[in-house]
Structure 1
C-alpha cells in the first residue's frame, strides 16, 4: 500500500484528526487505556494568508521568510481521558511536537512554558492539568540508539535515600513525563502493538527522492493500523494534499537554506564553549591535584614534625634520666668521700 510520510506536518495533522487514530497513537505510547481525546490544535503560520492554488505560493513563502515573518510550525495538543487500572478516570494534557533538526528543540522549551498555563474543567472545577510530552524527532540522538524511549520521573526521599512509591497531585502538575520517537531509528520489526504504530513512521521504502510517499510493506493486522494506513493512503494520492506537502517541503528547504549557516555557527559556538569548559575543567583538575599534592606534603611535614616532637620528647626523657643518674652518682661520691674522711680521723 502507498502511504504519505507522516513526518510531514500536513500528513501528521490529517492522521491525528481521526479520534480513533489519536487514541491509538497516544494510548500505545503511554501504555494506557484512552477513553476520550479532545484535539487542541495550535498552528503558527506566516503572517497574512495566500490562496493554496496560487502558483506563486512558494515565492510568497520565501519572501515572507526573508521579511522575518513567522515560520509555519504545527503542534498538536490533546486533552486525553485515561482509565486507570483501578477504574478511575483522569485527564492529562498531551503535547505532541515534531523536530526536523536540533535547532527546533529550542522552540520546545518555549512551548512547554505555555502549557503550564492551560486549564480544563475537571469535575466542574478549574484544575491545572498534568502534562505529558511526545517528541517525534527527524534526527538521531547520538547517545540513544533505540527508536522509542520514555523519560519518567520518580520521587526520591533525599533524607532517607529511598524511592517514594506514592504520587502527589501538586508535584504531578509541576513536572512531566516525556516520550521520544526517533523516526530514523525505526526498524522493520513488526511484533508488538508499539512496533505496528512505529512502522507507519519508518523512513524507508520511499517511491521517490522527495520522500513524500512510501510503500507500506507490513500486513494491517489490527483495525487501528488499517484506519491509520487508509488515511495515509488517501492523503498520499490526493492531489490537494500532495500540493500542501510540497509547499511545506519547499518552505522547509527555504528555511534550511537560510538558517543552515546560522545553525552551523550556533553549533560551533556550542562546541567552542564546551571546549572552553573542558579546558577549565582540566585546569581545575590540575589545580585540585596540586592542592592534593600540597595537602600530602603538608601531611608528611606534620608527620615529620610529629616524629621530631617525639624524638625531642624522648631526648628530654633521656636527659632527665641522665640527670638523675648524675645526681645519684654525685650522692654516691659524696658518701664515699665522707666515709674516707671518717676513717682518716
Structure 2
C-alpha cells in the first residue's frame, strides 16, 4: 500500500487532525489506551544556520485522557531537519507549556469540591535523525519514586511531583529500519523512511 510520507508537516498535520487516527497513534506510542483527546495543533518556522535555512516545525499539544481516568498534556514535536539537536529550543518550549495557564485544570478535591491541578506533561519527540549509539527506535524515559535509603521503588503518584517533573518518549526514525517488535514499532512503519517509493521521498510503500 502506498501512502503520503508523514515526515512532511502537512501530511502529519492532516493525519493527526483525525481524532480516531490520533488516538490510535498515541495509544500505540504511549503503550496505554487513549480514550479521549483534545488537540491544539501549532506551527512554527525558524531560520537556522549561517545560510538562513528555514525549518518548519510542527508542534501538537493534546490533552489526553487514559482508560484509568488519568489526564496529561502530551506534546508532540516532529523535527525532520538535521538541525534537530536544539536543546535550548526544546527547553524553552517545555517551559512555555509549564507556564501556560491553559494547562491548569479543575479536578475533584476532598469533600466533593473542586481544586486546581497542573496537567502532567509528556513530550514526544519524533526525530528525522538518530543520535544514540544504541540503535533503539523508541526510547521511553520513565521516572520512578525511590526511597534512597532502601532503594525501594514507591508505587504512589502525587500531584506535586507529577506537575514539576516529566517522563519523555524519543522516536528515532532512522532506527526503525523495518523493526516491528512492538505495537508501537508496527504502527510507526508509516514513518519508516526505508520504505520510500519515489525519488522525491514523498511516497512510502508499506504493508497493508
TM-score above 0.5: yes
- TM-score interval, normalised by the smaller of the two chains: 0.7 to 0.9
When normalised by structure 1's length, the TM-score is 0.52
**Is the Cα contact below 8 Å between 1:117 and 1:128 reproduced in 2?**
no
Pick the aligned partner of 1:184 from 152, 166, 174: 174
Match of 2:58 in 1: 74
Match of 1:10 in 2: 10
Tell me how far apart the structure 1 counterparts of residues 3 and 158 of structure 2 sit (CA, whole Å). Answer: 43
Per-residue deviation, residues 263-302 of structure 1 (Å, max 9, x unmatched)? xxxxxxxxxxxxxxxxxxxxxxxxxxxxxxxxxxxxxxxx
Other structure's SS at 1:103 match: coil
**Is the Cα contact below 8 Å between 1:36 and 1:81 reproduced in 2?**
yes
Gaps of 5+ in 2: 108-113
Pick the aligned partner of 1:160 from 134, 150, 162: 150
Q: Please report how far the alpha carbon of residue 25 of structure 1 lies from its aligned counterpart in structure 2 after TM superposition.
A: 1.1
Alignment of 1:120-269 (within 5 A): 120-123=104-107, 125-190=115-180, 192-216=182-206, 218-219=207-208
Q: Please report how far the alpha carbon of residue 114 of structure 1 lies from its aligned counterpart in structure 2 after TM superposition.
A: 0.8
Gaps of 5+ in 1: 47-61, 220-345
Match of 2:110 in 1: none
Tell me how far apart the structure 1 counterparts of residues 119 and 13 of structure 2 sit (CA, whole Å). Answer: 23
Match of 1:110 in 2: 92
Q: Please report how far the alpha carbon of residue 19 of structure 1 lies from its aligned counterpart in structure 2 after TM superposition.
A: 0.5
| Structure ranking higher in helix proportion | 1
Other structure's SS at 2:123 match: strand
The alignment covers a number of residue pairs equal to: 197
**Bigger Rg, structure 1 or 2:** 1
Tell me how far apart the structure 2 counterparts of residues 154 and 205 of structure 1 sit (CA, whole Å). Answer: 37
When normalised by structure 2's length, the TM-score is 0.83
RMSD over aligned CA atoms reads: 2.6
